[in-house]
Amino acid sequence: MCRTVPPIASRYIITNMEKGRIIRIVSNQYDVLCEQGTVSCVAMGKLRKGKTPLVGDLVEVEHFGDQSGIQKILPRRNELLRPAVANVDQAIIVMSCREPDFSTVLIDRLIFQIIYHDIEPLICISKTDLIAGDDAIYETIDRYRQSGYKVYTSNAQAASKELINALKGKISVLTGQSGAGKSSLLNRIDPCFHLQTQEISKALGRGKHTTRHCELHEIAEGWVADTPGFSSMDFTYMDIETLASKIPDFQPYVNQCRFRDCIHINEPDCALREAVEAGKVVCERYAHYQEVVTMIKQMKRKY
Ligand SMILES: Nc1nc2c(ncn2[C@@H]2O[C@H](COP(=O)(O)OP(=O)(O)OP(=O)(O)O)[C@@H](O)[C@H]2O)c(=O)[nH]1
Ligand SMILES: [Mg+2]
Ligand SMILES: [Zn+2]
């Protein structure tokens, strides 16, 4: 059953303040979900000088006449820059088995980006219809699960019920390479959706990225931002010690090292490296951590 469009409260003349959440931003127009429905707002003058409102922001809206304006942004729990969303509960990394190629380097780099912002990463392995039932990808999925990550699967027919349940009551963002199947996944979860996917955009002769602007969609009793795929990731803003302490499967070890400021690369008596050698931490993830640390150091040297 498809939802009906909620009433536009700004059609009615009311003067008062209320709280709401920004669910869509198109140029300088903000759609805020308030109690009565979605209200189209402008940003008030004093706000424009401060921080920029983001999708996901809780805001105070004032109605005056038949217009509404955002007066205040309430404190944020967290904020992501790419995609630009605030107050995110979880980020779903969509990684395809094929087309584009499966990559644990990418999964881990995305995990590092997400956990750094204190957001929980979930992993959805898409396009399982393109691999055989005994493909090595399934072993990789098991390793992620053993390390404590939540991994779901989806294919051309269906998305896992567990993933659909995981969306309930949460603000989620989808992230992953262009073509991984993010928009298709949402279309599959909620048949009311007709988000544009790649075949369609190719037919229209558009560029590589299909999804363009940022918006929270109501889906599976939660709110999900479909976002464009990305071509590069920035790690320069990261503090290395903070990064290591936030990686969930590193956490049991990072405070056990001889040096309190250990970055777990070549310090003696490093509990994390010992855990890797003992097979308690997946070798590959530690290798991906080492690569990112090297990247951060090189970038910082340049500036
Ligand atoms: N075989 C198969 N193909 C899929 C599946 N999911 C998506 N696709 C195809 O993969 C292509 C890309 O899907 P999109 O949903 O547009 O990918 P996206 O991640 O939203 O891409 P961007 O918006 O560019 O970031 C389309 O041709 C889809 O039909 C799947 O589970 N199995
Ligand atoms: Mg898309
Ligand atoms: Zn260490």
Report the separation in Å between the CA atom of 130 and the middle of ligand 1, taken as the mean of its atom positions.
Answer: 12
- The CATH number linked to 32 is 2.40.50.140
**pLDDT tens per residue across span 136-178:** 999 999 999 999 999 999 999 988 999 999 999 999 999 999 8
User: What's the confidence (pLDDT) of residue 118?
Assistant: 92
Asked whether the beta carbons of 130 and 97 are under 8 A apart, the reply is yes
Whether ligand 1 lies within 6 angstroms of the CB of 187 is answered as: no
CA angle 222, 120, 298 (to 5 degrees): 135
Residue type, 223: W
State the distance from the centre of ligand 2 to the C-alpha of 78, rounded, in angstroms: 24
Tokens read off for 253? 């070890």
Structure tokens at 264: 């777990």
Q: Are 129 and 159 in contact (CB under 8 A)?
A: no
What residue numbers bound the domain in which 18 lies?
9-73
Q: Are residues 256 and 163 in the same domain?
A: no
Judge whether 74 and 59 are in contact, CB under 8 Å. yes
Helix, strand and coil in the chain, % to nearest 5:
30, 25, 45
Residue 148 belongs to a domain: yes
Q: CA torsion sign, 195 to 200 to 202 to 205?
A: negative
- pLDDT, tens digit (0-9, with 9 covering 90-100), for 218-252: 999 999 998 777 667 889 899 999 999 999 999 99
User: Is residue 233 assigned to a domain?
Assistant: no
Mean pLDDT of the chain: 88
Assign residue 271 a region: left if phi > 0, alpha if psi is -120 to 50, beta otherwise?
alpha
* Contact 181 CB / ligand 1 (< 6 Å): yes
User: What pLDDT is stored for residue 212 in this prediction?
Assistant: 57
Please indicate whether residue 247, judged by its CB atom, sits closer than 6 Å to ligand 1.
Answer: no
DSSP label at 65?
A: T
Q: How far is the CA of 77 from the centre of ligand 3 (A)?
A: 29
Q: Is 175 in the pocket of ligand 1 (CB under 6 A)?
A: no
Ligand 1, atom 13: closest residue by C-alpha: 181
Task: Calculate how far, in angstroms, residue 237's C-alpha sits from the geometric centre of ligand 1.
Answer: 31
- Which residue from 184, 194, 213 has its CB within 8 A of the most atoms of ligand 1, so it is best to mutate? 184
Ligand 1 within 6 A of CB of 227: no
Report pLDDT for 7.
57
Q: Which ligand is nearest to the CA of 124?
A: 1
Predicted confidence (pLDDT) per residue in 9-48, tens digit: 545 554 588 999 999 998 889 999 999 899 999 998 877 6
Please report, for residues 22, 45, 162, 302, the alpha-carbon distance to residue 127 in angstroms, rounded to integers and kept in the order given: 32, 47, 17, 40
Distance CA(40)–CA(17), nearest Å, equals 14
The residue among 203 and 103 whose pLDDT is bigger is 103
Q: Which ligand is nearest to the CA of 258?
A: 3
Residues 117 and 205 in one domain: yes
- For residue 207, name the pLDDT band (cuts at 50, 70, 90): very low
pLDDT of residue 206: 46
Residue 188 near ligand 1, beta carbon < 6 Å = no
CATH of the domain at 159: 3.40.50.300
**pLDDT for position 21:** 97
pLDDT of the residue at 211: 53
Percentage of the chain modeled with pLDDT above 90: 70
Q: Could you say which of 25, 56, 73 is where a domain stops?
A: 73
Q: What is the pLDDT of residue 5?
A: 55
Whether 182 shows a pLDDT value over 50: the answer reads yes
Question: For residue 159, how many other CB atoms are within 10 A of its CB?
Answer: 22
Please count the structural domains in the chain: 3
